[in-house]
Amino acid sequence: MAALRGLGRCPPRSVSVSSLHTSSSVSAKQHYKMLVLGGGSGGIAMSARMKRMMGAENVAVVEPSEARSRMHYYQPIWTLVGAGAKTAASSGRSTASVMPSGVKWVKSKVEEINPDTNTVRTDDGTEISYEYLIVALGLQLHYERIKGLPDGFEHPKIGSNYSIQTVEKTWNALQNFKGGNAVFSFPNTPVKCAGAPQKIMYLSDAYLRKTGKRSKAKIIYNTSLPVLFGVKKYADSLWEIVKQRDLQVNLRQNLIEVRADKQEAVFENLDKPGETTVIEYEMLHVTPPMGPSLAIKGGPLADEVGWLDVDRDALQHKRYPNVFGIGYCTNLPTGQPCTTCFSFSAAQSAILNRTISKTLKKEKPDKKYDGYTSCPLVTSYNTVILAEFDYNLQPLETFPINQAKERRLMYHMKADLMPHLYWHGLLRGLWGGPGPYRKLLHLGMK
């Protein structure tokens, strides 16, 4: 139960102390040329790049290490974990093993950022000053904003691919499905990897067909959005799949309560305030509401909503030029869309590296981030629609083929190749550019 009560926080990422990294001392004052907040994909990738640019002794990363369970996870693979195609163990490695050697690992939680004094205060009282700051704090998962959660996860038949504590519960619910409603939700907030809620729906459909249970199932996808997917080219293909596989999609429906003891999910109609619908379920997959990091929200670095306020082209803070941002904590007009940790960080890290390099030389940034976003939409156990697009939701594709079609090759790239490139390329600061698939194609053509 204690683990489930922690689901209102971001998934854990780091683990026990490594001899390569020095832990923080309580109430000590520290100073670094480059301070990186967050040890997720963006934070680790940028700390590796900054190590090469500035020297390891000048770089520090603030990332908690509260227990042995603290790990760094390749979260895009959790879609396949929830469907039984990958194991949860394969998605994680110790944070010590991915932290760049020689950099200072401050094993604390960020409590307050004060850009006016160039300082950060951690939860153990440590004050850290910096010359330059990279904020890579991700976003917060808020299961507790749905009545009945997270306690409801103690019951069977309910899971969520957005947390390491609950992703295997999705697979258990799918395996134990007997017949009835299989319900999948999408919240009324920005979401990281906004394709993931429907990916598990397609995989569940495929599993139930393979096991002979599909005729006993009614598959329901309730989304708060007014569309199935934000880019029309891919949405058109997805609607065809929905029709062919007899999947029920209900738009503008937001999950507000789970009555796990009764196996009931309550949805509100966002177009008709006060109108609710109760659906009995045999399986329920929950995508939690999400929001800005509490260390940013309400502080001087935040916009009016609470996201890190950065320039969309250079990834540099709009008011504090020595502060930079990467990933889900920012207010880039990608809107925390359907984007994997890999594609988002790979595309942004090269631009941000260039921006910082120019800033150090007192020059203006000369490279622009175009909003490149990648979403491998898994539609079965061997097919993927590879959606790639820009800030304007226009396709920005890698391959000279129609990427809106389901393809086996794209599945193998998603399931097998990209995790390898993540661990051995991105996190070492060796992989970045216009996007992971575009760079992969470029390398293959040499």
Of 10, 338, 341, 375, catalytic = 375
| Torsion-angle region of 176 (φ positive above 0: left; ψ -120 to 50: alpha; else: beta) | alpha
Pairing mode, strands 283-285 and 290-292: unpaired
Residue 104 structure tokens: 């200072």
Residue 193 designated active-site: yes
Query: In whole angstroms, how far apart are CA 22 and each of 25, 120, 184, 429?
Result: 9, 18, 43, 21
Of 193, 329, 338, 341, catalytic = 193
User: How many angstroms separate the CA atoms of 264 and 276, rounded?
Assistant: 12
User: How many angstroms separate the CA atoms of 81 and 75, rounded?
Assistant: 10
User: How many angstroms separate the CA atoms of 227 and 230, rounded?
Assistant: 7
Indicate the SS3 state at residue 86. Answer: coil
Task: Report yes or no: 167 and 173 within 8 Å, Cβ to Cβ.
Answer: no
Residue 338 designated active-site: no
Residue 96 structure tokens: 């010590």
| Nearest alpha carbon to residue 418 among 389, 396, 445, 398 | 398
Phi, psi (deg, nearest 5) at residue 434: -70, -10
Task: Report yes or no: 290 and 192 within 8 Å, Cβ to Cβ.
Answer: yes
Amino acid at 420: H
Amino acid at 239: W
Residue 186 structure tokens: 């999408």
Beta-carbon contacts of residue 401 (< 8 Å; ≥ 6 apart): 407
Task: Report yes or no: 355 and 367 within 8 Å, Cβ to Cβ.
Answer: yes
User: How many angstroms separate the CA atoms of 394 and 388, rounded?
Assistant: 8
Catalytic residues: 193, 375
